[in-house]
């Protein structure tokens, strides 16, 4: 029997799926519906000084018939009075004692503002704080959000202020709008943060309406850079999560994974790369709270199939499989193979290989269809044909090593081996 109960920084929840700080966690009615559906926890939409939001706020990237592959927003933190939010957080905690309730916070960059906000929110009985050092729009102009996360020294200073008064676990949410998340992560860990969460949204411009010539989203004829999220950002989030998990100083720091998580498979990938739990937003904004059934069911089934009893049994298992390019085995070689019984003769593999790769596929023209074959002696194993093929498992990649020994780039150079002969 599998057990997907989660313990993150001592904060327990019935599953590892939390709702990220965003519109779905903006008020009690939303959170109640989420918990009724089965979500394990929520990070309440960021609290701070009340703001005024604009209209419209969202724009989406649609691709190849799929809607909302990416989502852009120019929405700010909660625009509801702090007193109402605090009252509703208290009520939710009382009514749902087995769920995790985290308060996302953003204050002016001075000790007094952070101390006051921490103390007021702490009185609600919430289980932890998430410090929003990531919002890339609107709040940055006020010296908050990503401006803090982009400067390790400022981030460290703010976390030190927070830790002076916080009596519950503190999670620091990092911005991806940097060359590397590691410097800021190190700084806030040194300052005493109990955990990290990443990534926040990526600064973006979604596109331009070709009829009006106004970029999206349209606010009275103008727009602003916004935060990008959704399935399209998942690879970036996984990369940044991995850099944290592989860092010697931070390998034991609990991390809540965020960024494009839409399915149970996405969640498993994040946990394999070290995440202690995951946070979801865009998928809920598109499909609603009931996707939690698929998330929990899929995770349970996969764990049962693999023989994992708890989440900790597989967390971080894939971290050591990511290395530097120079350490990869140059003798490892694969070639493509087309299953003629599955081939639908569309020619996409041939076109992509001929125009954009290595001309390693031959074409035999015929009636009623053409036939495509791999030139194995010319195939470099780049995977492009397999990626463009619309038929699952029609093209497979077969290992054909070039040598028995493991040979990386450093050893290749040390031996002075000729490039053209290898």
Give per-residue pLDDT as tens, 257-314: 999 999 999 999 999 999 999 999 999 999 999 999 999 999 999 999 999 999 999 9
Give per-residue pLDDT as tens, 72-84: 998 888 999 999 9
* Portions of the chain given CATH number 3.20.20.70: 6-320
Identify the three-state secondary structure at position 202: strand
How far, in Å, are 5, 22, 147, 180 from residue 195 at the CA level?
A: 19, 20, 20, 18
d(CA 113, CA 111): 6
pTM: 0.94
| Annotation says 385 is catalytic | no
Peptide bond into 56 cis (omega under 30): yes
Identify the three-state secondary structure at position 47: strand
Helix segments in 96-229, DSSP class H: 111-122, 146-149, 152-165, 182-191
Q: Going residue by residue through the chain (422 aa), what tens digit of pLDDT does each one get?
A: 899 999 999 999 999 999 999 999 999 999 999 999 999 999 999 999 878 888 998 999 999 898 999 999 988 889 999 999 999 999 999 999 999 999 999 999 999 999 999 999 999 999 999 999 977 665 555 565 677 888 999 999 999 999 999 999 999 999 999 999 999 999 999 999 999 999 999 999 999 999 999 999 999 999 999 999 999 999 999 999 999 999 999 989 999 999 999 999 999 999 999 999 999 999 999 999 999 999 999 999 999 999 999 999 999 999 999 999 999 999 999 999 999 999 999 999 999 999 999 999 999 999 999 999 999 999 999 999 999 999 999 999 999 998 889 999 999 999 998 886 54
Give per-residue pLDDT as tens, 403-420: 889 999 999 999 998 886
End-to-end CA distance of the chain: 50
- Residue reference for tokens 């939409």: 45
* Portions of the chain given CATH number 3.30.70.20: 325-415
- Choose, from 135, 229, 349, 389, the residue flagged as catalytic: 135
- Contact partners, residue 145, CB within 8 Å, separation at least 6: 106, 132, 133, 134, 135, 136, 137, 138, 139, 175
d(CA 248, CA 313): 21
Give per-residue pLDDT as tens, 92-107: 999 999 999 999 999 9
d(CA 379, CA 92): 59
Helices (H) and strands (E) in the chain, counts: 13, 18
Domain 6-320: CATH superfamily is Aldolase class I (3.20.20.70)
- Given 3.30.70.20, 3.10.450.50, 3.40.50.720, 3.20.20.80, which CATH number is that of 325-415? 3.30.70.20
**Quick one: how far is CA 91 from the chain centroid?**
30
Cβ(85)–Cβ(1) under 8 Å?
no
Instruction: Take residue 35 and report the two structure tokens written for it.
Output: 């918990």
- Residue reference for tokens 């920084």: 9
């Amino acid at each position: 029997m599998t057990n997907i109960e989660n313990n993150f920084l001592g904060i327990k929840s019935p599953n590892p799926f939390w709702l990220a700080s965003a519109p779905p966690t903006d008020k009690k009615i939303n959170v109640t519906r989420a918990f009724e559906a089965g979500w394990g926890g929520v990070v309440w939409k960021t609290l701070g000084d009340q703001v005024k939001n604009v209209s419209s706020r969202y724009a989406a990237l649609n691709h190849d018939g799929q809607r909302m592959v990416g989502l852009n927003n120019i929405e700010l933190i909660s625009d509801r009075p702090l007193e109402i939010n605090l009252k509703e957080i208290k009520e939710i905690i009382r009514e749902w004692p087995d769920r995790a309730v985290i308060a996302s916070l953003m204050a002016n960059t001075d000790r007094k503002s952070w101390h006051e906000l921490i103390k007021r929110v702490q009185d609600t009985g919430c289980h932890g704080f998430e410090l929003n050092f990531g919002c890339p729009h609107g709040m940055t102009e006020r010296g908050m959000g990503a401006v803090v996360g982009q400067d390790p020294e400022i981030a460290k200073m703010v976390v030190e202020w927070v830790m002076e008064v916080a009596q519950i676990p503190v999670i620091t949410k990092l911005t991806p709008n940097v060359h590397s998340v590691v410097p800021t992560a190190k700084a806030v860990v040194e300052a005493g943060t109990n955990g990290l969460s990443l990534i926040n949204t990526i600064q973006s411009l979604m596109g331009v309406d070709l009829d009006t010539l106004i970029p999206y989203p349209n606010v009275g004829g103008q727009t602003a850079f916004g935060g990008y999220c959704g399935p399209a950002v998942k690879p970036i989030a996984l990369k940044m999560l991995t850099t944290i998990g592989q860092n010697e100083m931070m390998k034991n720091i609990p991390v809540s994974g965020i960024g494009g998580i839409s399915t149970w498979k996405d969640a498993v990938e994040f946990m394999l790369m070290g995440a202690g739990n995951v946070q979801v937003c865009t998928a809920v904004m598109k499909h609603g709270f009931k996707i939690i059934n698929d998330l929990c069911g899929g995770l349970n089934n996969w764990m049962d199939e693999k023989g994992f009893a708890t989440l900790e049994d597989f967390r971080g298992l894939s971290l050591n499989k990511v290395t530097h390019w120079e350490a990869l085995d140059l003798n490892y070689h694969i070639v493509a193979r087309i299953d003629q019984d599955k081939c639908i003769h569309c020619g996409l593999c041939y076109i992509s290989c001929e125009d954009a790769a290595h001309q390693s596929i031959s074409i035999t023209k015929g009636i009623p269809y053409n036939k495509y074959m791999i030139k194995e002696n010319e195939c470099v194993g780049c995977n492009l044909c397999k990626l463009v093929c619309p038929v699952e498992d029609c093209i497979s990649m077969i290992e054909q090593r070039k040598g028995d020994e493991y040979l990386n780039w450093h050893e290749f150079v040390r031996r002075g081996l000729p490039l053209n002969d290898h």
